[in-house]
Chains A and B, each alone.
Chain A
Amino acid sequence: MPQMTFHTPATHDEVAALLAASAGARVLSGGTDLIVQMRSGRNAPSAIIDVKQVAGMIGVRMSDSGFAIGAATPCTALLNDSALSAAWPGVVEAANLIGSVQVRNRATMAGNLCNASPAADSVPALIAAGATCVVVGPSGTREVAASDIAVAPGKTSLAPGEFVAEIRLPARPARGGDAYLRSIPRTEMDIAVVGVGVALVLDASGTCTAARIALGAVAPTALLVDEAGAALVGSKLDDAALEAMAVAVRAAAKPIDDKRGTAEYRTAMAGVLAKRVVAIAAARARNAA
Chain B
Amino acid sequence: MNAPVTPKAFKVVGTRPVRPDGVDKVTGKAIYGPDFVAPGMIHGAILRSPHAHAKILSINTKKAEALAGVKAVITSADFPGQESKVLAGGETSSNQRDIAQICMADGKVLYAGHAVAAVAATSEAIARAAVALIEVTYEVLPHVIEVEEAIAPGAPLLHADMYTKGVEPASDQPSNAAMCFTLARGDADAALARAAITVTGRYKTPPVHQGYIEPHACVASWNADGQGQMWVSSQGAFDIRNTTAAVLHMPIADLRVMPLEIGGGFGGKTTIYLEPVAMLLSRKAGRPVRIAMNRQEVFCGTGPAPGSVADVTLGSDADGNFVGLKVEFWSQAGAFPGSGVHSGVMTALGAYTVANAHVRGWDVVSNIPATKAYRAPGAPQIAFALESAIDDLAVKLGMDAIDLRLKNAVRPGDPGPMRLPHGAIGYVECLEAAKAHPHWSAPLGANQGRGVAGAFWGNYGGPSTAAVSLSSDGSVQVTTGNPDIGGSRASMAIMAAETLDVPYESVRVAIADTASIGYSMLTGGSRVTFATGKAVVEAAQNVRETLVSRAASLFGVDTAEVEWHGGAAHCLSGERKGESLSIGAIAAKAGQFSGTITSEVSINPLDYLPGFAVHICDSEVDPETGHVRIVRYTAVQDVGRAIHLDYVEGQLQGGAVQGIGWALNEAYVFDAEGRMENPGFLDYRMPVASDLPMIDTVLVEVPNPAHPYGVKGVGEAPIVPPLAAVANSVRHATGIRMRELPLSPDKVYAALRAAD
Contacts and interface: CB of A to CB of B under 8 A. Distances in A.
Answer yes or no: do A and B interact. yes
A183 B665 contact: no
Interface residues of B, number: 25
Interface in B630-654: none
Nearest to A258: B677
Interface string A151-188: 00000000000000000000000000000000101111
Nearest to A265: B746
A265 B745 contact: yes
Given A190-B682, A259-B677, A260-B683, A185 B625 contact: no
Interface class of chain A by DSSP: loop
A191 B684 CA distance: 12
A262 interface: yes
Interface in A183-236: 183, 185-191, 193
B691 interface: yes
Given A191-B682, A269-B625, A186 B750 contact: no
A100 to B, nearest CB: 9
B10 to A, nearest CB: 41
Interface in B93-129: 129
Interface in B196-211: none
A259 B669 contact: yes
A1 B129 contact: yes
Contacts of A183: 625, 627, 745
Interface residues on A, range: 20 to 34
A188 B690 contact: yes
B746 A272 contact: no
B321 interface: no
B691 A187 contact: yes
A119 to B, nearest CB: 11
A190 B685 contact: yes
B472 interface: no
A187 B129 contact: no
A260 B678 CA distance: 9
Contacts, number: 52
A262 B688 contact: no
B701 to A, nearest CB: 35
A40 B294 CA distance: 10
Interface in B686-727: 687-688, 690-691
Nearest to A269: B625
A237 to B, nearest CB: 18
Interface in B273-319: 296
Contacts of A185: 627, 664-665, 685, 744-745
A64 to B, nearest CB: 39
A138 interface: no
B678 A259 contact: yes
A189 B746 contact: no
Contacts of A190: 682, 685
B678 A272 contact: no
A218 B753 CA distance: 20
A187 B746 contact: no
Q: Of A186, A187, A189, A265, which is in contact with the most chain B CB atoms at under 10 Å from its CB?
A: A186
A268 interface: yes
A168 B437 CA distance: 56
Interface of A: 1, 40, 183, 185-191, 193, 259-262, 264-265, 268-269, 272
19 contacts: A183-B627, A183-B745, A185-B664, A186-B665, A186-B687, A186-B690, A187-B688, A187-B690, A188-B688, A188-B690, A188-B691, A189-B682, A191-B683, A193-B746, A259-B677, A262-B746, A265-B626, A268-B749, A269-B749
Closest CB pairs A-B (n = 6): A265-B746, A187-B690, A259-B677, A259-B669, A272-B624, A185-B665
Interface of B: 129, 296, 624-627, 664-665, 669, 677-678, 681-683, 685, 687-688, 690-691, 744-746, 749-750, 753
